[in-house]
Amino acid sequence: MINFNYETEFKLQEEDNLRIWIAGLIKAEGFKLEEINYVFCDDIYLHKLNVEFLNHDTLTDIISFDYTVGKLIQGDIFISVERVRDNANDFNTDFMNELHRVMAHGVLHYCGYKDKTKDEKSTMRAKENEYLAALKS
């Protein structure tokens, strides 16, 4: 089950299509979906979580809490719509494209992908692009 929750005025369009897309990503990576809760919020909301749970006093676009057990994907993904919008402007891309990238990014972490080293970042970006292309087709 994939749930979309809103702590801001932003609302996704086509929630059902996005559920199908995320479930397809999980299946393609060899995992099974249990439950993912997306929470769309603002910078203040996400900053508070970043400080409280990660001891990071910075703004971020996404925080994911991974409860995956074995191949059964479970987790909570918090996304700052404000930060995604700013990043889309900074990266000269469409807001929805950047939002979808971040949505996939969180799930890819649950599938075992990391992004700390240059090689890991490259692999993560390639996977994000692969699944973004699948969404658009």
Angle of helix 43-54 versus helix 81-90 axis, rounded to 10 = 100
Is 105 one of the annotated binding-site residues?
yes
Token pair in block for residue 89: 């402007």
Q: Which residue has the tokens 């889309």?
A: 88
**Per the annotation, does 109 bind a ligand?**
yes
- Asked whether 18 and 12 are in contact (CB, 8 A), the reply is yes
Residue 70, φ and ψ in degrees, nearest 5: 60, -120
Q: Is 86 annotated as a binding residue?
A: no
What residue numbers does the annotated binding site for Zn(2+) cover? 105, 109, 115
What residue numbers does the annotated binding site cover? 105, 109, 115
